[in-house]
Structure 1
Amino acid sequence: MSRSEEPIRLLSMMASTSTSTCTSTQSSPATVRFTNVRDLFDVIDCATTDFLSVTDVSPISFAEIEVEREKQHRKFRFRRYDSSSRCLLVTIPTDVHEELHTSIYQLYMQKIVSMGLRDSWRTTASARCQSQAHFGQSNKEGDSTGGPEPGRDAPTYWPTLAIEAGASESLNELRNDMRWWFSASNHEVRVVILAQFDPTRSAVVIEKWEEEPVQGHAGVTRPQSCTVLGLPSITASPLLRQSIAITQNTATSPVSYNVTGGALVLPLRLLFLREPRPTEFDFVISVEDLESYAAKVWRRAGN
């Protein structure tokens, strides 16, 4: 067997291998069992999707993967790693995947600049975030993230905004990313945007999820699901504030895009952790913006 055929053989053999330790294998397009770094990189090289689930990754193996990734200047991201489940989810930055999240973030940044808040915002992109709420090692590299500048008075900087994209993932898997952001940050992340491209439906789906603090004892503001001084947690699910669907209409010339769900509205209060000043408003990504955004996504998909 030639060296060029080996990655395809590996993917074919390994993709059928699943393990109960990884909760995302049901919806992931490919699941492989980790054996060594070289074989994993071969599988990534021949992958045709933007998402890969890797099982049986010990903390030592994860460290080895990270070292080799940096040494070889690999561009894939660690979407999520959890040492207790030994599951590593990998983002492979395809053209469609990158367009899905970067264009939304760029539109948001245009609104920030036009409102004169550029120097008050910090882009953290795909910087590593370490869980504050889980036992063991749990960390993540998001797609597009950012937060206020200066940040909160805390030892670890967490963004207030996270955008996650998927072209081969189900919305359920993307929602697992959303839940991680809120839980792992101890609810310091306030807004999560999910952007999914579904070629079978010829649609882009955008969801906006939010979490807000609630008033605790003695006037102390605390997150809804946070345990304070040993008191039981107040359990509350993240809130789906918006669901937007964008479909392509090939019956028109030129091709047009239909947006249902209205403009995407991002609340300044949650993103900047303060009330808007008299000349400030929420950030609105208009229907026209979303139509242009969709056209870019479809171009990257070759449609």
Structure 2
Amino acid sequence: MAAIISRSTTSPSVSASSVSASSAVPSASTILTSVKSTKDSDPPTVRFTNTQDLFDIINSTTGDFLTVTNVSPNQFTEIERERDIGRRNGQKKRYRKFRFRRYNANSQILIITITTAVHEALHLGLYMRYYAQLARNGTEESWKDIGTETFRQQGHPAGDGGEGDSTGGPWPERGRAGNWPTLVIESGYSEILPELQKDMRWWFQESNHQVKIVILAKFDDQQHHILLEKWEEEISSPQGAITRSRAAARSQNGVLNPVKRQSITITRDETTNPVSYNVTRGALVLGFRLLFLRDPGPQEGDFVLSIQSLQLYAEKVWAQLPRSD
């Protein structure tokens, strides 16, 4: 189903599936009663006019994902500044928290993540379970929680940018401001899986491969499951004939490409009493070397989120769903 942008009673509704025509994209100055997004549909899309109206639209969006067009680099900087000022000083009007999923200066498209209860439970539930293992192993002082810092494309400080849902890296190796994380967790409720996978590729590419692990957590309400994907990179050797142009594009030993190392599905079974959660394809494993950029020492090793831990995680995610009654 298409996402529907509901206007006031004097204006017709606009389908987000029609936004390919520029005239069909509502502007951020349009007074909206609500911006609705059905799960796994095209995200609602609006055209930017000014920061204040954009914040009002974010307030009325029901999903966790919003696309904003016609955002120049200077306007992106303005949006970021006004958001951060509001965080520090508070606002006369209460605005919802949001993050910049991705910004592309060439296309002038800004994708915004809105912090709904389900969205936050999806990524924080995984990250906090990982961090709890750090604490149990006594290695939390060697880890920096980077959080939702805005990361910029290298060599392009005023252009492309993005913020992760949960991020972190080793201390002190990634301890300075602006250092890229080794671990990124991105979640999605109304955001479709292909968009999440674009986020994954962005992190690897724009960090110049300093990001080592990207975990995607996608909630599918219709299928009653959570999909977890763990992505890493590996060197892929060139295939086929090596032309001069291909040789220039690839190093002699190949290039780094994203590889899906794990795909785990957690399904809710409401036929049991109590409700149960079935985990397919085992526990989620995070490699120590990729996280900490060194070999594990004594009493150190990979971090394993067990099947039981993932079942408890899923239970808490489902508890955040809005009630239908």
**TM-score > 0.5, shorter chain as reference:** yes
Deviation at 1:131, TM superposition (A): 1.3
The equivalent residue for 1:225 is none
The equivalent residue for 2:33 is none
Task: Give the Cα separation in 1 of the matches to 2:12 and 2:209.
Answer: 37
Out of 31, 49, 53, the position equivalent to 2:63 is 49
Whether the aligned pair in 1 keeps the contact of 2:215 and 2:229 (CA below 8 Å) is yes
Against the structure 1 CA distance between its residues 288 and 153, is the aligned structure 2 distance closer, same or farther, given a 3 Å change threshold?
Answer: closer
Whether the aligned pair in 1 keeps the contact of 2:234 and 2:259 (CA below 8 Å) is no
Task: Give the Cα separation in 2 of the matches to 1:231 and 1:190.
Answer: 22
Against the structure 1 CA distance between its residues 165 and 193, is the aligned structure 2 distance closer, same or farther, given a 3 Å change threshold?
Answer: same
The equivalent residue for 2:51 is 37
Pairs within 5 Å for 1:185-224: 185-212=207-234
Q: Secondary structure at the match of 2:118?
A: helix
The equivalent residue for 1:66 is 80
Q: Which runs of 5+ in 1 are unaligned?
A: 215-229
Whether the aligned pair in 2 keeps the contact of 1:133 and 1:183 (CA below 8 Å) is no
Deviation string for 1:13-69 (max 9, x for gaps)? 484563599xxxx96421111122232222211111000011111112212222222
Whether the aligned pair in 1 keeps the contact of 2:7 and 2:13 (CA below 8 Å) is no
The equivalent residue for 1:255 is 275
Q: Secondary structure at the match of 1:127?
A: coil
The equivalent residue for 2:288 is 268
Task: Give the Cα separation in 1 of the matches to 2:59 and 2:262.
Answer: 36
Task: Give the Cα separation in 1 of the matches to 2:8 and 2:81.
Answer: 21
Out of 103, 107, 132, the position equivalent to 2:125 is 103
Q: Secondary structure at the match of 1:211?
A: strand
Pairs within 5 Å for 1:83-102: 83-102=105-124
Q: In terms of mean alpha carbon deviation, does 276-285 or 130-139 score higher? A: 130-139
Query: What TM-score, normalized to structure 2?
Result: 0.79
2:207 maps to 1:182: no
* Number of matched pairs: 281
Query: What TM-score, normalized to structure 1?
Result: 0.84
Deviation at 1:235, TM superposition (A): 3.6
Whether the aligned pair in 2 keeps the contact of 1:14 and 1:33 (CA below 8 Å) is no
Aligned alpha-carbon RMSD (Å): 2.9
Deviation at 1:12, TM superposition (A): 4.2
Task: Give the Cα separation in 2 of the matches to 1:164 and 1:20.
Answer: 30
The equivalent residue for 1:221 is none
Equivalent AA in structure 2 for residue 31 of structure 1: T
Q: Which runs of 5+ in 2 are unaligned?
A: 1-5, 23-39, 88-94, 237-247
Whether the aligned pair in 1 keeps the contact of 2:181 and 2:211 (CA below 8 Å) is yes
2:19 maps to 1:18: yes
Against the structure 1 CA distance between its residues 14 and 84, is the aligned structure 2 distance closer, same or farther, given a 3 Å change threshold?
Answer: farther
Whether the aligned pair in 2 keeps the contact of 1:11 and 1:32 (CA below 8 Å) is no
Pairs within 5 Å for 1:260-299: 260-299=280-319
Q: In terms of mean alpha carbon deviation, does 38-47 or 162-171 score higher? A: 38-47
Deviation at 1:166, TM superposition (A): 0.3
Q: Secondary structure at the match of 1:237?
A: strand
Task: Give the Cα separation in 2 of the matches to 1:264 and 1:174.
Answer: 18
Deviation string for 1:70-126 (max 9, x for gaps)? 233341111111111101000000000000000100000011111110100000111
Q: Secondary structure at the match of 1:72?
A: helix
Out of 245, 257, 266, the position equivalent to 1:237 is 257
Q: Secondary structure at the match of 1:68?
A: helix
Task: Give the Cα separation in 2 of the matches to 1:34 and 1:19.
Answer: 15
Against the structure 1 CA distance between its residues 61 and 15, is the aligned structure 2 distance closer, same or farther, given a 3 Å change threshold?
Answer: farther
Identity of aligned residues (%): 50
Task: Give the Cα separation in 1 of the matches to 2:176 and 2:189.
Answer: 34
Against the structure 1 CA distance between its residues 91 and 256, is the aligned structure 2 distance closer, same or farther, given a 3 Å change threshold?
Answer: same
Task: Give the Cα separation in 1 of the matches to 2:166 and 2:55.
Answer: 24
Against the structure 1 CA distance between its residues 9 and 78, is the aligned structure 2 distance closer, same or farther, given a 3 Å change threshold?
Answer: farther
Equivalent AA in structure 2 for residue 269 of structure 1: R
Whether the aligned pair in 1 keeps the contact of 2:98 and 2:114 (CA below 8 Å) is yes
Q: Secondary structure at the match of 1:126?
A: coil
Equivalent AA in structure 1 for residue 291 of structure 2: L
The equivalent residue for 1:165 is 187
